[in-house]
Amino acid sequence: MSQQGSHWPLTLTVLSALVVLGSVGPWASVLFVTVNGTEGDGAFTAVFGGVGILLAALSFKNQSRLKYGAIAGLGGISAVIGVIDWADIASEPEGELGIGVQVEWGLVLMTLAAMAKTVAGGAAFWGLQRSAAAAAPGLAGGLDRTAGFSAVIGGGSAGEPAAERSTLQSGEHGADDRWEPETLPAPEAPVAKPERRDPFRRA
């Protein structure tokens, strides 16, 4: 796992665990009567939090945008459930004695942890996407350089079409464009000059 973004698996594991803890905790109370989250929608958010813990734990070994996107999505669903239930409980009318339904810490913890998990999962997702986009130009540049080195070794240029280089290297030309090596004329042999005879020299 790369050092960049290595804190996301731990952060998402903790936030998912808080979602589960808030889901099983009390969500509402009236006097001495308490209603836990698992007696209602908390059962769903607890399952979503458990899946988030599993995906975050797998991210310790191999981070991926798919895992982080799923964690953010599950966190968003849990947050929506928490906000709706919170609003419903808060809107309950008070009884004759002025006693109404109170929102308990379990619902508050679950809702806030789910919101934070949604934001953290989205940040981790976009962080991996930016890293992949930044690595793409470097990979393309490396391929271009490799192609250039191969062309130089093969006797061609990087911009020369592969088919043309293959034709030139293999010597396959058309009948009218047959290439022949230039033949240099042979050097002329020196001509022996006739020996000039001195008339005053005795034979």
Query: Tell me, what CATH number does 114's domain have?
Result: 1.20.140
Does 185 fall in a domain?
Answer: no
Tell me the average pLDDT of the chain: 78
Q: Which of 22-31, 64-73, 194-203 has the lowest mean pLDDT?
A: 194-203
Q: Which of 5-9, 106-110, 186-190 has the highest mean pLDDT?
A: 106-110
C-alpha closest to that of 36 among 51, 28, 26, 44 = 26
Alpha-carbon span 162 to 166, nearest angstrom: 6
Q: Which residues pair with 102 in a beta bridge?
A: 29
Alpha-carbon span 156 to 193, nearest angstrom: 52
Does 100 fall in a domain?
Answer: yes
Domain of 67, in residue numbers: 8-152
Task: Please give the tally of structural domains in the chain.
Answer: 1
Does 115 fall in a domain?
Answer: yes
Does 201 fall in a domain?
Answer: no
Determine the pLDDT at residue 162. 47
Structure tokens at 164: 């043309």
Determine the pLDDT at residue 54. 97
Reported confidence tier of residue 100, pLDDT bands at 50, 70, 90: confident
Q: Over range 139-168, report the average pLDDT.
A: 49
Query: Taking 60 as the threshold, does the pLDDT of residue 146 lie above it?
Result: no
Does 193 fall in a domain?
Answer: no
Helical H runs in 155-199?
A: 162-170
Does 77 fall in a domain?
Answer: yes
